[in-house]
Structure 1
Amino acid sequence: MASQSSRRNPVLIGLAVLVLAAVVWFAIGPLKRMVAPRSAAPPAPAVSVTSAQVKREDVPIGLAGVGTVQAMATVTVKPRVDGQLDRVGFVEGQDVKAGQLLAQIDPRTFQAQLQQAMAQKSRDEAQLANARLDLQRYEGLIKENATTQQTLDTQRAQVAQLAAAVKTDEALVNVARVQLDYTTITAPLSGRVGARLVDPGNIVHAADANGLVVIRQVDPIDVVFTLPDGEFQRINRAIQASGTPLAVEASERASGQLLGQGKLILLNNTIDTTSGTIQLKGRFPNPSHTLWPGQYVNARLVLGARDQALTIPAAAVQRGQTGTYVYVVQADHTVASRPIEVAEIQDAKAVVAKGLAANERVVVDGQYKLKPGTRVNETTATTTVADAGAAHASAPAAGAPAPRAGNARP
């Protein structure tokens, strides 16, 4: 029995060791897998964005409003005498010069009236000459007591009467000559003519309401616009400080393209209490006719300039719950969200008061794909604000739309 027991003990001990080793193996295996270092995840791909450099430049300070283009002067050309319209001397839609022939009315009736008035004047002048000779005779005879004083006085009265008649005839001749001149209708000013309102062959009258044609002076041309009445003091101070007329810019409403630069000629003498606005008028040279009567434009009154201000494209400015911010491209090609203070936004350009430094780069397009720390790839980087704005305008679907220009105070 003792020998059998001694033979079974090593077997049992061996089995126990195997069981214990198996238990340890299965217990330590998962633990090793838990503490074993995981393989590194592949880095996220870089996001393609458009960026622009923060630029330092002189920026004009201005106020923007919506304006209407008006002709500097508008004249409805009407006949001043009645008669048949013989011919017109203009082509519809052409430019005319002051004094240019526009129309001719049949002059024959007025020529006859002038000749009649001149004949009447000649007859009265002859009678006046004869009466003066008789007066000289009577003055000689009275000295010799060969005539009476009454006869002399009567002759003097007749001379005065005939002299007055001659003056009346002169006036009638002048009236007839003016009436004849009215048959030739000339342009009272230089400008662009519109559609012809009466065709040759028609009888025209001085009382006609429509006239023959309308002339509008389009070079120079005016833009009338309004600004909030709360800006009156700023405008008034700028006018007093400048000493010269303030500059006014007109741009196309849809594209923002600059159409002309002019001068302020009117700050109206009253504020419209119904709309809370004040009316202003700018005058623009318009040789290329980029401004046209009746056109709606964006008008901007330039009050001064910011010297060496920091500017970025307006499309780079983002708005969040805490205010405005931009994505700044860092040296390691990642982006950081940075709060900024915007002084003014105009003409797709933002003036930054705080938060940025010159030559830093900000994201103009593609912000919706970014968060702080995102790696970026600047595919169409620009070096100037103008270039950045142009790139953004040419590809509006690539990112968020640019904020509209406002009237933020500097």
Structure 2
Amino acid sequence: MKCWELRTVASVLIVMGLVGCGPKPVATKPLPPATYAVAAEQNVPLTINTFGNCVTVADVTLQAQVTGTLTRFAIQQGALVKEGDLVAEIDPSPFQAALQEAKGSLDSAQAQLANADVTLQRQQQLYKTKTIDLADLQSAEANQLQAQGNVLSAQGQLANAQINLAYCTIKSPITGKAGIYMVDAGNLVTASKTELINIQTIDPIYVDFTVSENDFNTIRKYFTNGELPIEVTIPGAPDKVIPGKLTFINNSVASDTGTLSLRGTFPNADALLWPGLFVNVSLILTTVEKAVTVPSMCVMVGQTGPYVFKVNADDTVALQPVTLGQRRSDFAVVTKGVSAGDRIITAGQLGLVTGKKVTPTLWQPPAPLPSRQDAAK
């Protein structure tokens, strides 16, 4: 091998050795992932949330108004009835007989009155001619007055017999839903004592609820036109919102509980609301226009109050104190500290500090759970 070739090989070996002895590259630590939601603007109802129970508008328990044998019910248990529908019947035979007797008594009393009138007229003529004395005339006048009283008494008995006969036909005084039979057909029922069946109005229906006395001034402030909208949901079907209106505020606060009773009225043609059913109530006072909202999970609470973590343009995070307005299960209204379009961390806030860089990923809200009715299909 020539001399210059040896020098070249040696030079290559030296360079390779120097390269092999140099510092090794350091691996870059990956940035922690973080999900974020974008603060949005939306119109948010300002509500007072509580719970209440459904109350029927009218609750009527029909009783027998005459004593007799209950012959039949004209409706089924649980049936929907209208005002004026026949509900039950009591054997009318004794009352028909009493009516005939009352008619006969009236006819007799009227005949006696006609005879007394003729007698009085004759006695008056005889008295003018001095044929009879004053005592005979006065006796005729008294008989005529007594006959008039007998007619009035007979007319009253006839009217009473007609009323009692009408009481044998029992009709519904309201439109509503019937309950169970409280007595079976064939039994002897007693006037003003035996209960027959209960009927309750279903449509419309009331929802009674209470609020804290601290909310009274706020409610009174917005209760200017005589009504406020209300929304209720049934615990078994939270996705079904039923609208109504606030129609009554009680005239006093309960001193023992510090609460105020309110009542809403709801159309209920589909009978979703039922007397005695407990419901979730949202009294809507007003609507906040273009409110800034973030998912509720974004909001943390520290020693100085609520805060969120913003994601800056360079993907670093910053702790941001906030002032909250209306807060619900799925979102919160931020009145100060966050603007629409800000990226707000949704999870893992406890491991973050201001200035820490993250790999942000847009948060996807979970799909809603199927309702109990859908799950049963």
Rg larger for: 1
C-alpha change, 1:379 and 1:234, in structure 2 (3 Å) is closer
For structure 1, list consecutive stretches of 5 or more residues without a partner in the other structure: 1-28, 381-387, 396-410
1:249–1:258 contact (8 Å) kept in structure 2: no
Is 1:187 paired with 2:172? yes
Count of equivalent residues: 351
TM normalised by structure 2 equals 0.83
| Corresponding residue number in structure 2 for 1:231 | 215
Q: SS of the residue aligned with 1:218?
A: coil
The structural deviation recorded for 1:208 is: 3.3
Q: Aligned match of 2:28 in 41, 48, 60?
A: 41
Among all aligned residue pairs of Structure 1 and Structure 2, give the percentage whose two residues are the same amino acid.
Answer: 33
Please, which of 328, 339, 358 is the counterpart of residue 346 of structure 1? 328
Pick the aligned partner of 1:310 from 282, 285, 292.
Answer: 292
Amino acid in structure 2 at the alignment position of 1:314? S
In 1: Cα distance, 2:247 partner to 2:131 partner: 78
Q: Mapping of 1:30-69 within 5 angstroms?
A: 36=23, 38-41=25-28, 43-44=30-31, 46=33, 49=35, 52-69=37-54
The one of 260, 265, 270 aligned to 1:283: 265
Offset, 1:238: 2.6
Q: Is 1:217 equivalent to 2:201 in the alignment?
A: yes
How many Å separate the matches in 2 of 1:52 and 1:281? 39
Amino acid across the alignment from 1:324: P
Deviations 1:212-246 (A, max 9, x none): 1111112111111111122222222333xx22212
Q: How does 1:10-409 map to 2 (within 5 A)?
A: 36=23, 38-41=25-28, 43-44=30-31, 46=33, 49=35, 52-208=37-193, 211-239=195-223, 242-253=224-235, 256-328=238-310, 337-346=319-328, 348-364=330-346, 366-367=347-348, 371=352, 372-378=356-362, 380=364, 388=365, 391=366, 393-394=368-369
Contact 1:90 1:102 in 2 (8 A): yes
Deviations 1:261-317 (A, max 9, x none): 222222212221221211111111111112111111122222223222112333433
If each structure's helix is expressed as a fraction of its own residues, which one has the higher value?
1
- CA–CA distance in 2 between the matches of 1:254 and 1:375? 40
**Shift of residue 52 of structure 1?**
4.4
The SS at the match of 2:272 is: coil
Write the distance in 2 (CA, Å) between the matches of 1:52 and 1:85: 70
State the SS of the aligned residue for 1:195.
strand
Superposed displacement of residue 65, structure 1: 1.8
Code of the residue aligned with 2:325 in structure 1: it is A
The 1:207–1:334 alpha-carbon spacing in structure 2 relative to 1, beyond 3 Å, is same
8 Å CA contact 2:32–2:358 kept in 1: the answer is no
Contact 1:335–1:376 (CA under 8 A) maintained in structure 2: no
Q: TM-score, normalised by structure 1?
A: 0.77
- Give the superposition deviation at 1:363: 4.8
Contact 1:256 1:347 in 2 (8 A): no
Counterpart position of 1:3: none
Contact 2:309 2:320 in 1 (8 A): yes
Q: Distance in 2 between matches of 1:102 and 1:359?
A: 64
